[in-house]
Amino acid sequence: MSDAPPDQGDYRPEIATATEVRPLTATERLFHLILPHRALGHLPGQFVQVSLPGIGEAPISVSSSFTRTSGFDLCIRRTGNVSEALHRVKAGGRVGIRGPFGCGAPLEKCMGQDVLMIAGGLGLAPLRSLVQYICDYRDRFKKVTLLIGARTPETLLFADEYNAWRNEGKINIEATVDTAKKGWTGSVGLITNLIPQIEIWPTSTVVVACGPPIMYRFVMRKLQQRHIPDDRIYLSLERRMKCGMGKCGHCQINDVYVCLDGPVFRYDRLAALPEAVS
Amino acid sequence: MNKLRVAFYSLTSCEGCQLAFLECEDRLLDILQQVEIVRFREASSYEGGELDADADVAFVEGSVSTAHDESAVRTIRMRSRRVVAFGACADLGGVNAIKNRQGNEAAKERVYGPYSSWIHTSDVRPVSAVVPVDFTLHGCPVDKDELVRYLYALAVGRKPADPTAPVCFECKLRENICLFHKGGTCMGPVVRGGCRAICPAYGAGCDGCRGLAPDPNVALMRTLLREKGLNSEAIRRRVDLFNASAVPEDLRRELTGYA
Amino acid sequence: MHDHPLGADRTMTIEHVARVEGHGNIVVNIREGVVEEVRLEIVESPRFFESMLVGQDAPAAPELTSRICGICSVGHTTASIRAVETAYGIEPSAQTILLRQIMLHAEILQSHILHLYFLVAPDAFSAPSVIPLAEKNGEVVQRALRLKKFANRIMAVIGGRHIHPVSMKVGGFTRIPAEGELREILKAAPAADADIDETVKLFEGIRFPDFKRDTEYLALRQADRYSFYGGRIESSKLGPVDPDQYLSLIKESVVRHSTAKHAHFHHKPFAVGALARYNLNGRETLSPRARRAAAALDLEQMKDNPFGNNAAQVVECVHLLDEIADSVRSVISLGLKDEKPARVPETSGHGVGAVEVPRGTLYHEYEMDGLGHIAHANCVIPTGQNLARIEQDLREMVPQILDRPESEVRLQCEMLLRAYDPCISCSTHMLNVEFRK
Amino acid sequence: MKEKFLPGERVEDLAEYLSQRYRLWAPAAKEGAFVFAQVVDAGDISMDYSTTLLPPKHAFLPTAEILASVDLQTGEADSVRPDDPPPAIFGVHPCDLNGLARLDQAMREPPADAAYHRANAGAFIVGLACLKKCRPEAFCDSTETFRPNGHFDLHLTPMEGGFWTSVQSDAGRALADDTGLFEVPTDRQRAEYEHVRRGIETTFAGRRLNLKTLAADLPKIYPHRMWEKLAERCFSCGACTAVCPTCVCFDVRDEMSDGCRTANRCRSWDSCLLKDFAVVAGGENFRGRRAERIRHRMMRQGSYLARRFGLPVFCVGCGRCPHVCLGKISPLDVFEQCQKEVGSGVGRAA
Ligand SMILES: Cc1cc2nc3c(=O)[nH]c(=O)nc-3n(C[C@H](O)[C@H](O)[C@H](O)COP(=O)(O)OP(=O)(O)OC[C@H]3O[C@@H](n4cnc5c(N)ncnc54)[C@H](O)[C@@H]3O)c2cc1C
Ligand code: SF4
Ligand code: SF4
Ligand code: SF4
């Protein structure tokens, strides 16, 4: 039996070089990586499988837009085996890369529309690639808003880039933190509190949200109160992943695979997936 | 690269788990390239005292059953960056804990008679009941291949994988015939695997040396054992072989059927 | 450290003697230049197996008592099985006996190899342990590992594993090895034979300390063969006694400085183990190759020297390799049958199981109540039998070498202890026998 | 399709021929049961076997394998198993042929699994018809997988004097011509084969499921208390998925070997029934409850994967899982109960 489809999803990684490593917060680091023979060729919202030999592999979203450099950025939080070992990698170090995987953010759908991005915590890492893309093709979009939530001011990711996004990218940015000490002049409170305050035209806005499952529960309620139709809301989901090609079964949510059909899903489709956001 | 400094210690045990390390045989010399053994009384002499080595990883075999064990394990904890509960005695209390169910005085009286008062022993506890434990190697004895994987994982600075699938899963992968189909009994459905179902593969039912799997369906287990004619007493003896003090009381009641 | 002779009033303490199995200390007290007291302190935690056995189903005893000791777990399993079998008059089949013998012989082989290469050889090569030895004499250690692996492989094929074997049960095995698996053993045997010949050569070159004393030896004996599995108890002075009479020969007593009991034979310390077996069985019962090894090592000259135990172990290794190959061939030629372990009755009974294990004769004795549950248990472990002898040896040996530097005295004391290959964790169980007042 | 006749006494020669060119797997006896084992001696093959303990899945997807390996000193990546001949499986019953077809479909759906593809390029399959049901738990009649459905190179149907052989692929044709073991069937043989074939259709006629609607029916009972009841009988042990010819879930881990000189990427079978299957970093478990996991498996077998691959049902009715499950959970019962509830079954409506 040998009907031979072309080799596609391999388990052997390509070896990328980390040309720059920059700490962002106490637990997150930003890596700039370059592949030897090619550009990654990713879209905003896609992810790669990052690995170190003998340690393991982890799915990580690409944090930069293909419009910026030939390399790409990964923002990695220290949580376990692979991420901790990656945090020990210095500039010039090498890491394994497979991908890009997934189908990414709904660029087409956003074109000519207002775009509302909602980022909770580490959720800004994947959304940054969309932000950068929007900045680079600003005329393709109408009003662009970015809501950012974090636990404390110190854990806000990419804070040094907000001004550039605001000024050059003409993006309206609101950031809020759960708790803050003296000196913080921004909002304090949950990210959901920001939603009632902003201007939204429900039928010409596309929402892209990325954050932990608990955030989605509350954000969705607020968005629905503002009458945004479900088919204009996109959520990015996280699941365990082993292969990245819809085989291993780990990232399956009902009958879809996050690695193939996601990680970004339109909300009305999620309604048919009771396991998605419970 | 600095070698990982590894120490092996033993408390109340049969020293079989330490021996399992020596039984890695042809891989032993490879392992020694990655790790430096700083304490291993069973196989080496060394300068200094029994417990005064600073280690990256201490493999502690055996359960805590005396004041001496207890102070030893506290010293080991202070001196070691990581502590591994090494084998069923350290992980669960193991066979030693059968004594807990009999009572220390009764046990001493039985074995030492009029000389009981010379002997000191306390309730048997797993290592984790005395000091925090970072990792656990399950089994009585530990599985050699798993031990090697552990050492390599620790040598490259990562948490070793700790599989939780029940014994049944690996039993199927080995194409064993289920003990229940052969007319016997087995604790495999509720016991944590990782042993590659060695007992069923050699025709014997699992007795649970790796402890309970997560979220065990103990009620169903009891039903199956009852169907095969085991009464509460027989189930209790089975559970107590390695888990006399390791199974939480409520699960134990449900499993044995004791009110 | 202490490199002058021991002074007038001194206590020399060797704590946690290394390269023995289990925890033990040697204490030597000297007053006015005379050795006043020698103690072998066993500080291993007591295990209480005789108590833990109470209430168990008799067929569960082998699995539990295997955990007395990881090094001789096949030995404990076998003795335990035999105790239950004799209690109920269960006669194992010829196939079962052969498979059991292969298991037991392989364990003794692997234990001796471990002891000789890992624990004894470093002394001979003046290395602190086998690890630096591996760096200096890589091939020697490789050879040891190959032999150990050969023995372990055999136990894995038949019993599932060496440490706490799986398939050995009362009345039989839960899995019968496939013929092909047994043939693999035979295929690997010639390489092991070559390695064992090299082992003999290696130990021919080692000079053991010269120390003689007069003592009684005990071992199991059969008329026609060098006995490990089965037989009756014999001593150098006494005729054969049935195993269930062991308590009439061996008196155990609680000693304050030790969690392990001491044993005496007619109120005197005695020795068990490889040298005892050799002395009692006699060289005629050895395989021809083992007989040659005994001659090469001059074992006859060391019958009264405790260090001769090491040489006897080498000789036994040769013999065991030959025995194993013979038994494997016999099992194959009998044609492997898919036998199941016997059913064990749930009634009262009483039985003693005695087998030779690496360090000497091991006894398990159980008494079952009317439901077939163990009501009373007693295990007499070889190291426990040797402890009094070791103490006595130290007492006799230390004065002879007291003029040497302390480091040498210490080393030779440790070497003496190691020569007996004491298995301390297994001897720290206690028994319910008569107590010395 | 070409048709041939293989005289009974030449079966071993055919196996022998295959074993010289392939890594041959065939049914063999093990402790009174049967397994697909790598063949050392064609004489060990049992042509008259009931269902094997594991399906032949492991010939194509080993229970544990190394997908890639890197020598850390030279930095060289090893392509694993470079010289191994492709696998061949001999004597596969129709349920397992259907199982292999589904496995293939799942692993080769773009993006295809390159490791699977590399290892199995040029594989050869010889089917073997079942004339009657192998065991009471089997329900290949209900799933209509008692027919081989074309996923083979050669297919043998036992009959008087030997085997009717259907030749499906070019490789099968080449082999049939090469070996000279096969004969041109006579008219009498053709007539007899027709008779056997019709006999199979009659024997396997009793369906208990409505395959037309099953995949759509199951999601309708997604919220239902039957899952909780089912969970009371489930150990969450994963035995069912291990023995299933169509379950493909696996784990990938990176491990060091030989003194940390080599890093291996290892794949081993996994199971969606296992408690930790859907845990993500941080500890959230997306199917933390037993009822959710057993439901997921039933949905995968009866609906999700069926719909994904355009099949009426993904389960092939081999009956292995109800046989090994100590809680006696059977997909057939679950599917049937579902159709009763929904009112679409072949039996009575709800
Ligand atoms: C599409 C996608 C995009 C992501 N993007 C980013 C990103 O941009 N930045 C970022 O920092 N993180 C991101 N993550 C999360 C990141 O993948 C996880 O934090 C990551 O797996 C951490 O790997 P680790 O080896 O460091 O952690 P570990 O906890 O060591 O996890 C190792 C593996 O084991 C699994 N695991 C976790 N817990 C358990 C358990 N209890 N039992 C068994 N197995 C367990 C994990 O899922 C993982 O596969 C993303 C995840 C997904 C799915
Ligand atoms: S866990 Fe078992 S093998 Fe390990 S030391 Fe304890 S009794 Fe011995
Ligand atoms: S359904 Fe049965 S076989 Fe499957 S996990 Fe549950 S108990 Fe195990
Ligand atoms: S679900 Fe069960 S019956 Fe169906 S194919 Fe899998 S193992 Fe066979």
pLDDT winner (highest mean) among B59-73, C312-326, D174-188: C312-326
Tokens of A64: 């930069």
Mean pLDDT throughout D44-55? 93
D286 and D222 in one domain? Answer: yes
Residues D116 and D253 in one domain: no
A9 domain-assigned:
no
Residues C85-98 have a mean pLDDT of 96
Query: How many domains is chain A built from?
Result: 2
> Which residues 6+ apart lie within 8 Å of A168 measured at CB?
A135
Residue D350 inside a domain? The answer is: no
| CATH assignment of the domain containing A195 | 3.40.50.80
Burial of C17 (0-12, 13-18, 19+ CB in 10 A): buried
Q: Please check whether residue D347 lies inside any domain of the structure.
A: no
pLDDT at C435: 27
- Measure the CA–CA gap between B165 and B178, rounded to whole angstroms: 17
Q: How far apart are CA D325 and CA D322, in angstroms?
A: 5
Q: Inspect the interface and report whether the beta carbons of A247 and D250 lie closer than 8 Å.
A: yes
pLDDT at B43: 54
SS3 C40: strand
Please determine, for residue A2, whether its predicted confidence score (pLDDT) is greater than 60.
no
pLDDT band at C432 (very low <50, low <70, confident <90, very high): very low
Instruction: Break chain C into its structural domains and give their ranges.
Output: 58-222+272-365
Q: Is the pLDDT of residue C129 over 90?
A: no
| CA of B141, closest atom in ligand 2 | 3
D256 Cβ under 8 Å from any chain B Cβ: yes
DSSP string over chain A: ----PPP-B-SSPEEEEEEEEEE-SSSEEEEEEE-SSS-----TT-EEEEEETTTEEEEEEB-S-TTT-SSEEEEEE--SHHHHHHHT--TT-EEEEEEEES----HHHHTTSEEEEEEEGGGHHHHHHHHHHHHHTGGG-S-EEEEEEESSGGG-TTGGGHHHHHHTT--EEEEEES---TT--SEES-GGGGGGGS---GGGEEEEEES-HHHHHHHHHHHHHTT--GGGEEEE-----SSSSS-S-TTEETTEEHHHH-SEEEHHHHTT-TTT--
Residue D36 falls within a domain, yes or no?
yes
Q: Predicted confidence band at D125 (pLDDT cuts at 50, 70, 90)?
A: very high
Question: Quick check: CB of A64 below 6 Å from ligand 1?
Answer: no
Rounded to 10 deg, the angle between the B232-243 and B249-256 helix axes is 140
- Regarding whether D128 and D60 lie in a shared domain, the answer is yes
* Per-residue model confidence (pLDDT) at position D118: 86
Round to whole Å and give the CA distance between D317 and D140.
4
pLDDT, position A150: 93
Whether residues A120 and A247 share a domain: the answer is: yes
Using CA coordinates, name the residue in chain D closest to B145.
Answer: D257
**pLDDT score of B41:** 67
CA of A238 to the centre of ligand 1 (A): 9
Chains that touch A (3 or more CB pairs under 8 A): B, D
User: Where does the pLDDT of residue C437 fall: very low under 50, low under 70, confident under 90, or very high at 90 and above?
Assistant: very low
* Protein residue with its CA nearest to atom 14 in ligand 1: A60
What is chain D's mean pLDDT, rounded? Answer: 92
Architecture of domain C58-222+272-365: Orthogonal Bundle (1.10)
Q: What is the pLDDT of residues C320-353, one digit of tens each?
A: 999 999 999 999 999 999 999 989 999 999 999 9
How far, in Å, CA of C211 to CA of C217, rounded? 17
Indicate if D146 and D71 belong to the same structural domain: yes
The pTM assigned to this predicted structure is 0.92
Tell me the β-bridge partners of C344.
none
Please name the residue that has the structure tokens 């596309």: A206
Specify whether the CB–CB gap between D241 and D271 falls below 8 A.
yes
A199 with A120, same domain? yes
pLDDT in tens, A41-98: 899 999 999 999 999 999 999 999 999 888 999 999 999 999 999 999 999 999 999 9
| C-alpha C81: how far from chain center | 18
Inter-chain residue contact A55 with B158, CB threshold 8 Å: yes
Q: Give the residue from B111, B167, B210, B230 with the most C CB atoms within 10 Å of its CB, the best one to mutate.
A: B111
- Whether D348 is in a domain gets the answer no
Distance C42 CA to ligand 1 centre (A): 50
| End position of a domain, from candidates A69, A101, A133 | A101
Interface chains of chain C (3 or more CB pairs under 8 Å): B
Domain extent at residue A82: 14-101
Cβ within 8 Å, pair B173-D63: yes
D21 backbone dihedrals φ, ψ, rounded to 5°: -115, -15
pLDDT tens profile C164-189: 999 999 999 999 999 999 999 999 99
Nearest ligand by distance to the CA of D313: 4
For residue B153, list chain D residues with Cβ-Cβ distance below 8 A: 255-256
Query: Which ligand 4 atom is the nearest neighbour of the CA of D318?
Result: 8
Ligand 1 contact via A86 beta carbon (within 6 Å): no
Cβ neighbour number for residue D163 with a 10 Å cutoff: 25
Q: Which residues contact B167 (CB under 8 A, 6 or more apart)?
A: B186, B187, B188, B189, B191, B192, B193, B195, B197, B199, B200, B206, B210
D191's CB contacts (< 8 A; 6+ apart) are none
Closest atom of ligand 4 to D319 CA is: 3
**Where among A101, A132, A157 does a domain terminate?**
A101
Over 80: is that where the pLDDT of B156 sits? yes
Whether A148 and A177 map to the same domain: the answer is yes
Give the Cβ contact number of residue C182 at 10 Å: 22
Give the separation between CA A74 and CA A48, rounded to whole angstroms. Answer: 9
The CATH number that applies at residue A83 is 2.40.30.10
Report strand pairing: A264-266 vs A233-236: antiparallel
Distance (Å, whole) CA D103 – CA D98? 9
- What is the C-alpha to C-alpha distance for residues C327 and C287, in angstroms, rounded to an integer? 13
Chain B nearest-CA distance from D27, in A, is: 13
Is A55 close to B159, i.e. CB distance below 8 A? no
Chain A neighbors of D286, CB-CB under 8 A: 239, 253, 275
Query: Do A49 and A125 fall into the same domain?
Result: no
Is residue C260's pLDDT more than 60?
yes
Closest listed ligand to the CA of A73: 1
Res D28: pLDDT: 95
Q: Is the predicted pLDDT of residue B113 greater than 80, yes or no?
A: no
For C38, residues 6+ apart whose C-beta sits below 8 A from its C-beta are C26, C27, C28, C29, C391, C394, C395, C398
Out of A24-38, A87-101, C386-400, least confident range? C386-400
Quick check: A240 and D279 CB within 8 A? yes
Give the contacts of C43 (CB within 8 A, at least 6 positions apart). Answer: B68, C16, C23, C24, C25, C259
Nearest to B172 among D31, D234, D239 (CB): D239
- Do residue D249 and residue A249 have CB atoms under 8 angstroms apart? yes
Q: Are D27 and D35 in contact (CB under 8 A)?
A: yes
Q: Range of D189's domain?
A: 2-203
| pLDDT, greater one: D349 or C109 | C109
pLDDT of C62: 97
Regarding predicted confidence, which is higher, C390 or D103? D103
- Are C67 and B95 a contacting pair, CB within 8 Å? yes
The verdict on A95 and A213 lying in the same domain is: no
Pocket lining: B94 vs ligand 2, CB cutoff 6 Å: yes
Query: What is the ipTM score, two decimals?
Result: 0.91
Distance A209 CA to ligand 1 centre (A): 19
Type of residue numbered D136: P
The Cα B64–Cα C45 span in angstroms is: 9
**Start-to-end CA span in chain B (Å):** 58
* B205 Cα: distance to centroid of ligand 3 (angstroms): 18
User: How many whole angstroms from D328 Cα to the centroid of ligand 3?
Assistant: 8
Whether residue B177 lies within 8 A of chain D, CB to CB, comes out as yes
Nearest CB to A7 within list D117, D248, D254 = D117
Does D107 lie in the same domain as D171?
Answer: yes
| D125 and D61 Cβ atoms separated by less than 8 Å | no
Q: How many residues does chain D have?
A: 350
Chains C and B in direct contact, meaning 3 or more beta-carbon pairs closer than 8 angstroms: yes
What pLDDT, on the 0 to 100 scale, is given for residue B51?
67
Cα separation, C275 vs D12, in Å, equals 57
Give the C-alpha separation, A144 to A165, whole Å.
Answer: 10
Distance D316 CA to ligand 4 centre (A): 6
Measuring from atom 6 of ligand 4, which residue has the nearest CA? D244
Residue D328 has pLDDT above 90, yes or no: yes
Q: Is the pLDDT assigned to residue C222 strictly greater than 80?
A: yes
Tell me if chain B has a CB within 8 Å of the CB of A80: yes
> Is the domain of D55 the same as that of D171?
yes
Q: How confident is the model at residue D349 (pLDDT cuts 50, 70, 90)?
A: very low
| Domains detected in chain B | 4-155 (3.40.50.700), 167-256 (no CATH)
Which comes out higher in pLDDT, residue D69 or C16? D69
End-to-end CA distance of chain A: 43
Q: Return the ligand number nearest the Cα of D142.
A: 4
User: Structural domain tally of chain D?
Assistant: 2
Instruction: Give residue C22's pLDDT.
Output: 56
User: Are A232 and A124 in the same domain?
Assistant: yes
What pLDDT score does B24 carry? 86
